[in-house]
């Protein structure tokens, strides 16, 4: 990401529905850089959806594979990485995000996240059998200190398009440079 003067990949973290994937695409386009979505990579490697992987192998297996895919994206020198919402649950992944990436927390309220993912809650295993806003509120409460631990920048995504969020990310990183 020479435009930012950084050699580390830019990793986006945050609650599901925060816009990590679409913002990563917008950032990659703006920077003329490569982009990877860890969930999409894992689905391609395993030949199954995230929901199917959770159902077939469980969350612990999924989290281990997610860690391997993050390491792969970093080793392949991907410039912008959209991480899964739960990537921060493991201390080793948090260390990787802190030490090996420029990590940005895309913040979203549970109500906005539920609105964004509401049309397809069945594709989100962490929402299975739960009322979306309540479950997202609980996930955010659990993960807030973990996102804060890894993030060098926080950007509010509520009411913003992915392009607007990408612009705020770039502006925030430029101020820190």
Confirm whether 176 is domain-assigned: no
Confirm whether 106 is domain-assigned: yes
Confirm whether 175 is domain-assigned: no
Confirm whether 53 is domain-assigned: yes
Confirm whether 155 is domain-assigned: yes
Domain count for the chain: 1
Check which CATH number belongs to the domain holding 41 and give it: 3.40.50.300
Interval 156-166: pLDDT, tens: 999 999 999 99
Confirm whether 11 is domain-assigned: yes
pTM recorded for the entire structure: 0.90
Domain of residue 32: give its range: 7-169
Q: How far is CA 68 from CA 44, 61, 63, 72, 129, in A?
A: 14, 11, 9, 6, 28
Confirm whether 161 is domain-assigned: yes
DSSP output for 90-120: SHHHHHHHHHHSEEEEEE--HHHHHHHHTT-
Confirm whether 136 is domain-assigned: yes
Check residue 69 and give its pLDDT.
Answer: 95
Interval 100-119: pLDDT, tens: 999 999 999 999 988 888 75
């Amino acid at each position: 990401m020479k435009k930012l003067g950084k050699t580390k990949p830019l990793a986006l973290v945050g609650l599901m529905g925060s816009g990590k994937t679409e913002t990563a695409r917008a950032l990659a386009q703006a920077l003329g850089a490569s982009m990877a979505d860890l969930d999409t990579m894992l689905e391609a490697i395993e030949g199954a959806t995230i929901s199917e992987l959770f159902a077939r192998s469980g969350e612990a297996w999924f989290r281990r594979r997610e860690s391997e895919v993050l390491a792969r994206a970093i080793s392949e020198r991907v410039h912008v990485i959209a991480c899964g919402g739960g990537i921060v649950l493991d201390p080793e992944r948090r260390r990787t995000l802190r030490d090996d990436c420029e990590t940005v927390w895309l913040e979203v309220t549970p109500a906005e996240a539920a609105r964004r993912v509401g049309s397809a809650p069945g594709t989100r295993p962490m929402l299975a059998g739960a009322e979306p806003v309540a479950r997202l509120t609980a996930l955010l409460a659990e993960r807030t200190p973990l996102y804060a631990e890894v993030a060098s920048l926080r950007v509010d995504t509520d009411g913003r398009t992915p392009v607007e969020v990408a612009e705020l990310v770039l502006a925030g990183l430029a101020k820190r440079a």
